[in-house]
Structure 1
Amino acid sequence: MRYEILGPLRVVDERGSSCVKAEKLAVVLAVLLIRSEKVVTAEHLMTEIWGEELPQRATAGIHVYISRLRKFLHRPGKSSPIVTRPGGYLLHTVSDEFDVELFQQLVTEGRKSARDGQHVEACVCFEQALGLWRGPVLGELRPGPIVEGFVKWISEMRIECTELLVDSQLELGRYEEPIGRLSPLIAEYPLREKFHWQLMLALHRCDRRDEALRTYESARSVLDRELGLEPGPKLRELHQAVLLSG
């Protein structure tokens, strides 16, 4: 069985993929996955579903959702992956695949390859990691504090993975490849100076000097407008190098 949350929540097995359509049920499964192999208290599940204003039968509601999830995840001949523990519930994922864990593993392997100068292998790992994403984390699921914190963390990790991929592509002299990827990322994260630097370098190495200079001016403008800051030394040094190349 495979759990996937790097996109709309779904469970995949030999019979195909299944989605949890009931939102509260999906929230419970999402939290158990985010905290997999750790006990999640009933109180945390209640807060995630209902916030601070709990209904009168909130505890009974959690029991019902756990029971329904056990039925949903039941596979013939196997024990339920959801177990009751003192104070809460725990979801076992050791014997199953979980796309978040695979993503983290691939990023770790990619980092090691990049540190060792094996950038071809690093690119493969980073591209496979990014290929696991099917859309926004957990789709349109309404976030509570646990889900919201996780989404911010894993989304930041995705950005870092993209930066690492582009770094390895640049090390390999594959300057054309990152350009199409970086432009929409800069539009989405205009204050991420590293993306501006990477795009500027890629354009410069592709003999697109004017576009590289416009990239710098765009970065300088947005940093000044939004933060009241000048570009950092690395971006300024690259700008100077591009100017001198003319």
Structure 2
Amino acid sequence: MRYELLGCLRVIDGNDVKMLTAPKVEKLLAVLLVRSGRPTSISQLIDEIWLSEPPRRAVPALHVYISQLRKFLARAGAAETPVVTRSPGYLFEPADEDDSDFREFERLAAKGSELAKAGFPAGAVDAYRRALALWRGPVLGDAGGGPILRGFGTWLNELRLQCIATMVTCGMELGQHLELVPLLRQTTLENPLNEIYYQQLMLVLYRCGRRAEALEVYRELHRTLRMELGIEPGRAVAELHQRIMLAESGEVSPDMDCELLWTATAGIGVSISQSAANPDPARPGRY
């Protein structure tokens, strides 16, 4: 069976796609999945399902939800229930052949990082594209949740942004500038305060010969930062803006290009592989 969390939660068995209709049971499965292989206490599960307002009989209600979840997984195709009672609560034990989209995403992100660091940008771009293609929407859709699910969603979103930044760097090295414009425009819309994606979009547009659009991207960033935070853009993106302003042609010089290409994402590829192998202790995963 395959469990997918990069979007609304769903369980796939062959060609059959199953989705939970009970929100609290959905949250229960989500928490157990992201902590796969590690027991989750009763109190943690109650916090995730009811946040700060559990009912008086939360524990009996939780046991009912566990029973409903086991029945759902049996109908979905699980030969044996992966939801096991284990002190101080419950444990999700997937079968050997089971997989999840977020584990696959982790593996592809780490592969892309390794290929980028080894000097194989084409292979890195391919791995990153396959990783990003797994996302169907926000983590767990609109399911919400407590500290475990919120932390998990934040961690995965950060890893996704790292993938985009490093993939763009590798794509620019391969000359794939035009293909990167839609991705970077969408990423700046979704992350309006993150300067690195504006910087990359400016450079990509400039290398496509779209100098005026590159300068407009900087003006948009400047307006956003002044309005939202009351600050000016950072030195790196301001320097790129100045150099584009002073350029007399639509072609970036090789020295300028190489320097700005790699300073834009310095250290990001390393952080991806480290994140997959040595995640933050606060991350609610199986590690």
Q: TM-score, normalised by structure 1?
A: 0.94
2:100 paired residue among 84, 98, 101: 98
Question: Counterpart in 2 of 1:109?
Answer: 111
Distance 2:140 2:169 in 1: 28
| In 2: Cα distance, 1:24 partner to 1:222 partner | 38
Letter of the 2:69 partner, please give it.
L
Runs of 4+, deviation exceeding 4 Å: none
Residues 1:60 and 1:212: Cα distance change in structure 2 (over 3 Å): same
Secondary structure of the 2:30 match is: helix
Cα shift readout 1:34-90 (whole Å, capped 9, x = no counterpart): 111111011111121122332232111111111221222237783321111111111
| Matched residue SS, 2:91 | strand
Instruction: Tell which deviates more after alignment, 90-99 or 4-13.
Output: 90-99
Corresponding position of 1:224: 226
Q: CA RMSD in A?
A: 1.7
How many angstroms apart in 2 are the aligned matches of 1:53 and 1:131?
37
Give deviations 1:177-230, integer Å, cap 9, x for gaps.
111111122122111100111010011111111111121222222222322322
Measured in 2, the distance between the counterparts of 1:142 and 1:53 equals 15
2:90 aligned residue: 89
Q: Distance in 2 between matches of 1:76 and 1:108?
A: 31
Identify if the C-alpha distance between structure 1 residues 76 and 113 changes in structure 2 by more than 3 Å, giving closer, same or farther.
closer
Q: Quick one: distance in 2 between partners of 1:222 and 1:72? A: 47
Note the alpha carbon deviations across 1:111-162, whole angstroms, 9 max, x for none: 1111111111001111111110111211121322222222222112212211
Pair 77,46 (structure 1): closer, same or farther in 2 beyond 3 Å:
closer
* Residue aligning to 1:2: 2
Q: Secondary structure at the match of 1:56?
A: coil
- Give 1:170 shift: 0.8
- What is aligned with 2:40? 40
- Residue in 2 that maps onto 1:120: 122
CA distance in 2, matches of 1:240, 1:10: 48
User: How many residues matched?
Assistant: 246
Q: Which 10-residue stretch deviates more, 182-191 or 198-207?
A: 182-191
Question: Equivalent pairs: percent with the same residue?
Answer: 43
| Structure 1 residue 21: Cα displacement | 0.7
What is the alpha-carbon distance in structure 2 between the residues aligned to residue 54 and residue 46 of structure 1?
A: 7
Q: 2 CA distance for matches of 1:209 and 1:84?
A: 61
Asked which structure has the greater RCO (Cα within 8 Å, sep 6+), the reply is 2
Q: Who is 2:270 aligned against?
A: none
Which residue in 2 is equivalent to 1:235?
Answer: 237
Question: Structure 2 stretches of 5 or more lacking a match?
Answer: 249-287
Partner of 2:62: 62
Correspondences of 1:121-200 after superposition (within 5 Å):
121-200=123-202
Gaps of 5+ in 1: none
- Show the counterpart of 1:22: 22
